[in-house]
């Protein structure tokens, strides 16, 4: 492994001209101008305490621009006009089956990036989510590195593997990736921006010093990729190595592997941005979707939808595809857009309440929202197999079962599965944390013929259980159900008490 940590360059890129000064912003109300002036004073105070830390100062400048855009949107009352939203045209969403096959000759120009900013807290784990074991003793990171290593060995190429960390995951990730030193893969890491949380009542930063407690800061969403990869110097480094295309995906999406057909299609069509979308099911109703807005392709996230249209947004009939966040991006185009200060991403306002009860806001952006800035940008409707996220232990149940096999870091559905669809699995709160989940299964049940599984309450599974059709298991409060080893449950509802005791 060749490793380059690009997260903390001694001289981050801060030489861009930022034309958005306070006097140029089109504020309609004096209150917004006052807010902008007040927060600028606070940020200048933070910068004055940062000494020679150019990265911190660049981040505070970036945050100020984001915040003034937020104020500008509020002053103008900038909202989507729902009546102008149309479904994408046929040339804006290309079916994967219509794409010609590609070969390995394009790989020399490719780099692969995983969004690695999230923690495993929702699954009861400490540290980066990418360090959770997901299959055959391998973590998310292990699986991703195995994929790239196999790709490089098979085709005799050097596709670099990049991790965009957050301040929550950066230190631990850098320690973890050392174990890949003997692998045939070049690994780069860089960390995304660290922005101050804002008090909802006053619109002033929560932190008063650059070294304020970590919970007073936040990573501003994966839309920060463009700013951070540019400022880190890694964008220029990749371009100098002849890398022109970047495949981006969430680190917890086990279906996001390098696809030679999509890469070739991107080059052949001279497209600067491709978003992989897939058909929406009832499990995906909150996922962002592509729309046509005034003749331009745009990403629409649920956070941007007016309350009165949320049900429309969730409708499978009107919006039948959603964004997998598997993205193919032209690096030369990113550099051009960044140097022209044109990366204007829709702001998502994330309201939070701190542990001490204070209401704060986080201003975030989504990387897919950049689609509107790139030439010949469009979606490709890919098979569902390219979207296998592990967001919960219910997802973990699926990917660790006999429904899939893992070969060279790639998950493949068992050919003995009679349907292409994945079973719907809902595990209760008792299974929510990974350790509890593992303790409740002697072995993961066989589920090749399963359609739907719901489990709630104090339930455990013996070894070699098989589940078929629709299975619902409910242990009410004070009850316990132990599913005996070797059981076959087909279209069954199990309730009450069932105890198996050792003797």
Active-site residue set:
391
**Phi-psi region for residue 206, left (φ > 0), alpha (ψ -120 to 50) or beta?**
alpha
Contacts of 168 (CB under 8 A, 6+ apart): 117, 118, 119, 128, 214, 219
What does the DSSP 8-state code read for residue 102? -
What does the DSSP 8-state code read for residue 423? P
**Using CA atoms, how far apart are residues 90 and 489, in angstroms rounded to an integer?**
44
Length of the chain: 503
- For residue 317, CA distances in Å to 49, 238, 285, 424, 445 come to 54, 42, 11, 20, 34
Beta strand ranges found along 67-212 (DSSP E): 85-86, 93-95, 110-116, 133-135, 138-139, 161-165, 186-191, 195-196, 198-199
**Cα angle for residues 301, 276, 241 (degrees, 5° grid):** 110
What does the DSSP 8-state code read for residue 3? E
Q: Please, what is the angle between helix 30-48 and helix 54-76, to 10°?
A: 170
**Using CA atoms, how far apart are residues 115 and 82, in angstroms rounded to an integer?**
31
> In this structure, is the dihedral angle defined by the CA atoms of residues 178, 179, 185 and 187, taken in order, positive or negative?
negative
Please check whether residue 69 is in contact with residue 347, taking contact to mean a CB–CB distance below 8 angstroms.
yes
Beta bridge partners of 58: none
What does the DSSP 8-state code read for residue 233? S
What is the DSSP pairing of strand 289-293 with strand 198-199? unpaired
Closest among 303, 316, 412, 390 to 350, alpha carbons compared: 303
What the block records as the tokens of 141 is: 């990171």
């Amino acid at each position: 492994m060749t490793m380059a940590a690009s997260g903390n360059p001694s001289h981050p890129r801060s030489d861009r001209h930022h034309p958005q000064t306070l006097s140029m912003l089109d504020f309609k109300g004096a209150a917004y101008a006052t807010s902008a002036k007040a927060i600028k004073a606070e940020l200048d105070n933070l910068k004055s305490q940062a000494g020679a830390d150019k990265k911190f100062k660049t981040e505070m400048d970036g945050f100020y621009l984001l915040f003034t855009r937020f104020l500008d949107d509020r002053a103008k009352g900038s909202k989507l006009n729902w009546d102008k939203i149309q479904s994408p045209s046929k040339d804006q969403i290309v079916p994967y089956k219509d794409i010609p096959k590609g070969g390995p000759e394009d790989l020399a120009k490719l780099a692969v990036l995983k969004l690695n900013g999230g923690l495993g807290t929702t699954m009861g784990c400490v540290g980066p989510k990418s360090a959770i074991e997901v299959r055959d003793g391998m973590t998310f990171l292990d699986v991703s590195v195995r994929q790239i290593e196999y790709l490089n060995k098979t085709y005799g190429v050097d596709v670099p593997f990049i991790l965009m960390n957050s301040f929550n995951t950066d230190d631990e990730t850098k320690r973890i990736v050392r174990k890949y030193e003997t692998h045939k893969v070049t690994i780069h890491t860089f960390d995304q921006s660290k922005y101050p949380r804002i008090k909802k009542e006053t619109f002033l930063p929560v932190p008063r010093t650059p070294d304020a407690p970590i919970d007073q800061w936040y990573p501003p969403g994966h839309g920060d990729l463009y700013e951070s990869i540019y400022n880190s110097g890694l964008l220029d480094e990749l371009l100098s190595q002849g890398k022109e295309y970047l495949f981006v995906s969430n680190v917890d999406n086990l279906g996001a592997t390098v696809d030679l057909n999509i890469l070739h299609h991107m080059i052949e069509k001279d497209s600067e941005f491709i978003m992989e979308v897939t058909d929406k099911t009832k499990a995906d109703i909150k996922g962002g979707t592509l729309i046509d807005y005034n003749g331009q392709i745009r990403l629409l996230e649920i956070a941007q939808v007016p309350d009165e249209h949320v049900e429309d947004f969730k409708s499978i009939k009107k919006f039948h595809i959603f964004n997998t966040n598997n993205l193919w991006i032209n690096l030369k185009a990113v550099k051009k857009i960044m140097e022209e200060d044109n990366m204007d991403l829709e702001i998502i306002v994330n309201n939070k309440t701190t542990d001490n009860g204070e209401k704060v806001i986080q201003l975030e952006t989504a990387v897919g929202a950049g689609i509107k800035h790139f030439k010949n940008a469009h979606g490709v409707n890919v098979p569902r197999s390219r979207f296998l996220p592990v967001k919960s232990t219910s997802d973990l149940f699926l990917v660790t079962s006999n429904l899939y096999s893992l070969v060279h870091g790639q998950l493949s559905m068992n050919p003995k599965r009679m349907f292409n669809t994945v079973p719907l699995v809902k595990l209760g709160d008792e299974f929510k944390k990974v350790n509890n989940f593992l303790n409740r299964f002697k072995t993961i049940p066989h589920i090749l013929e399963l359609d739907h599984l719901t489990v709630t309450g104090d339930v455990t599974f013996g070894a070699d259980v098989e589940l078929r059709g629709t299975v619902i298991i409910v242990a009410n409060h004070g009850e316990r159900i132990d599913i005996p080893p070797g059981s076959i449950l087909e279209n069954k509802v199990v309730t009450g008490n069932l105890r198996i005791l050792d003797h």
